């Protein structure tokens, strides 16, 4: 049975730049500019894109570290759907427990002055997870779940390696018995051999606990391995979304094609046709008119410079792409 856990509806988040009196004059950075997606319960939605595409901002909006300027986030809360951006204080607080986040930097993610128990304790206490003994038990269980010894809870962050710290961060999220974990580049700061440990662990936990993930990363091969569905972002917008297999087999958007071809494959003789994009990602301060990708696109036509393409369904598999190349094709 598939049911929706989280639906984002045209989320918008602009950053105002500049300070003081110039605040009103400054142009906003359009970090997230009308993003919509659906996440099903027990599945992983991968969000992939290069730096500056707004994927981290999007993640922070979902855990409400940032408040989106516009848009709706529908969350299936015990069978009833609610917009988590409009909840009252008490329900909003409860949502913070249900949606957890794991960050990129395992070194900055733990307070160096608190031991592991201390790092977990306050959030458990304020969310009403019981008395001290009970909370300690929860921490021990969470640590065991990520294959760490329970008595590590009395140690301090500096005693752990990067991989262990990331496990602890995952345990900190798990301790809250969440339904959704937003992972922002959870393995990109780790060594290759340790990355595999964390990815395997995350997959196991998903199977055991029925968790849903939003997996944000720049590394397409990791995202493709972890996700059921993938959304490709470019300059604040989703340019293509499809199931992971579909996206690999039938990539439609020229940007997705370039991104896929740019990933180096560790196989001998796999030298394939690389699509080299011209130039850099434009500044999100002044995104190009029309299709945001057109200055770097090899298939750019007149219409691309003027009209911004909409994300439209191609075929019946839930494959959606925002590109004029597919205008009028099997809608």
Partner 1 sequence: MEKRNSKARSSLARRSWQRFFQNKAAVAGGVVLTLILVLCVFAPLFTPYDPAYADVSQKLMPISAAHPLGTDRLGRDLFARLLYGGRYSMFIGLAGAVGASVIGVVLGCIAGWFGRRIDRALLSISELFSVFPQMLLILLCVALMGQSVANMIWVFVLTGWSGVFRIVRSRILSLREEPFVESCVANGISGGSIMFRQLLPNTIGPVIVHTTLATAGFILAEAGLSFLGMGVPNDLPTWGNIINAAKRIDVIVNQPMQWIAPGVAISLFVLSINFLGDGLRDAFDPAQ
Partner 2 sequence: MEQQMILRVKDLQTAYYVGKRRVNAVNGVSFELKRGETLGIVGESGCGKSATAHSILQLLPKNGRIEGGKVEYFPKEGEPVCLSECKRTGRKMREMRGGEISMIFQDPLSSLNPVYTIGDQIIEMLRAHEKISKKQAAVRAAQLLDKLGIPDAEKRLRDYPHQFSGGMKQRVMIAIAMICNPSLLIADEPTTALDVTIQAQILELMQQIQQEYGTSIMLITHNMGIVAEICDSVAVMYMGRVVEYGSLKQVFTNPKHPYTVALMQSVPVLGMGKDKRLVSIEGATPDGSTVFKGCPFADRCTKAGPHCFDHPPVETEPEPGHRVSCHLYTEGGAAE
Binding site for partner 2 (CB under 8 A): 50-51, 161-164, 191-197, 199-200, 203, 218-222, 224-226, 228, 244, 248, 258-271, 274, 276-277, 280-281
93 binds, among partner 2, partner 1, none (CB under 5 to 8 A by kind): partner 1
Under the binding rule (CB under 8 A), the answer on residue 325 touching partner 1 is: no
Shortest distance, position 262 Cβ to partner 2, whole Å: 4
Q: Is 302 helix (H, G, I), strand (E, B) or coil?
A: helix
- Alpha-carbon distance of 45 to 39, in angstroms, equals 6
DSSP output for 179-245 = SEEEEESTTTTS-HHHHHHHHHHHHHHHHHH--EEEEEES-HHHHHHH-SEEEEEETTEEEEEEEHH
156 binds, among partner 1, partner 2, none (CB under 5 to 8 A by kind): partner 1
Under the binding rule (CB under 8 A), the answer on residue 114 touching partner 1 is: yes
Shortest distance, position 119 Cβ to partner 1, whole Å: 7
Q: Judged by CB under 8 A, which of 41, 77, 96, 203 binds partner 1?
A: 96
- Alpha-carbon distance of 267 to 89, in angstroms, equals 53
Task: Considering only the stretches 149-157, 208-216, 221-229, 295-303, report the one whose residues sit in contact with partner 1 under the rule CB under 8 A.
Answer: 149-157
Two tokens, residue 21 = 């009196």
Contact (CB, 8 A) for 3 and 75? no
Please say which residue, 128 or 266, places its beta carbon nearer to partner 1. Answer: 128
251 binds, among partner 2, partner 1, none (CB under 5 to 8 A by kind): none
Contact (CB, 8 A) for 241 and 311? yes
Under the binding rule (CB under 8 A), the answer on residue 144 touching partner 1 is: no
Contact (CB, 8 A) for 35 and 58? yes
Please say which residue, 9 or 221, places its beta carbon nearer to partner 2. Answer: 221
326 binds, among partner 2, partner 1, none (CB under 5 to 8 A by kind): none
Instruction: Name the residue with tokens 């990363």.
Output: 217
């Amino acid at each position: 049975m598939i049911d929706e856990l989280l639906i984002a509806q045209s989320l918008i988040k602009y950053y105002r730049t500049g300070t003081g009196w110039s605040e009103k004059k400054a142009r906003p950075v359009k970090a997230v500019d009308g993003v919509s997606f659906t996440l099903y319960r027990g599945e992983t939605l991968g969000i992939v894109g290069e730096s500056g595409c707004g994927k981290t901002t999007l993640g922070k909006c979902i855990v409400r570290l940032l408040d989106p300027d516009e848009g709706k986030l529908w969350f299936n809360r015990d069978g009833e759907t609610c917009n988590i951006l409009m909840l009252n204080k008490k329900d909003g607080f409860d949502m913070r427990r249900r949606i957890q986040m794991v960050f990129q930097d395992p070194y900055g993610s733990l307070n160096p002055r608190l031991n592991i128990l201390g790092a977990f304790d306050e959030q458990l206490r304020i969310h009403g997870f019981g008395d001290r003994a009970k909370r300690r038990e929860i921490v021990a269980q969470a640590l065991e779940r990520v294959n760490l010894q329970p008595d590590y809870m009395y140690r301090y962050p500096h005693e752990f390696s990067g991989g262990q710290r990331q496990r602890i961060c995952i345990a900190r999220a798990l301790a809250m018995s969440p339904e959704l974990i937003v992972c922002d580049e959870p393995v990109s700061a780790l060594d290759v051999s340790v990355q595999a440990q964390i990815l395997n662990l995350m997959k196991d936990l998903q199977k055991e606990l029925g968790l849903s993930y939003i997996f944000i990363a720049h590394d397409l091969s990791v995202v493709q391995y972890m996700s059921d569905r993938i959304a490709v972002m470019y300059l604040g917008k989703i340019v293509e979304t499809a199931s992971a297999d579909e996206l690999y087999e039938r990539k439609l958007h020229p940007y997705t094609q370039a991104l896929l071809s740019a990933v180096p494959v560790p196989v001998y003789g796999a030298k394939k046709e690389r699509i080299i994009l011209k130039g850099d990602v434009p500044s999100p301060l002044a995104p190009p008119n029309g299709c945001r990708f057109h200055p770097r696109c090899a298939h750019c036509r007149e219409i691309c410079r003027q009209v911004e393409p909409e994300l439209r369904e191609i075929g019946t598999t839930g494959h959606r792409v925002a590109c004029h190349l597919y205008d009028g094709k099997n809608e």
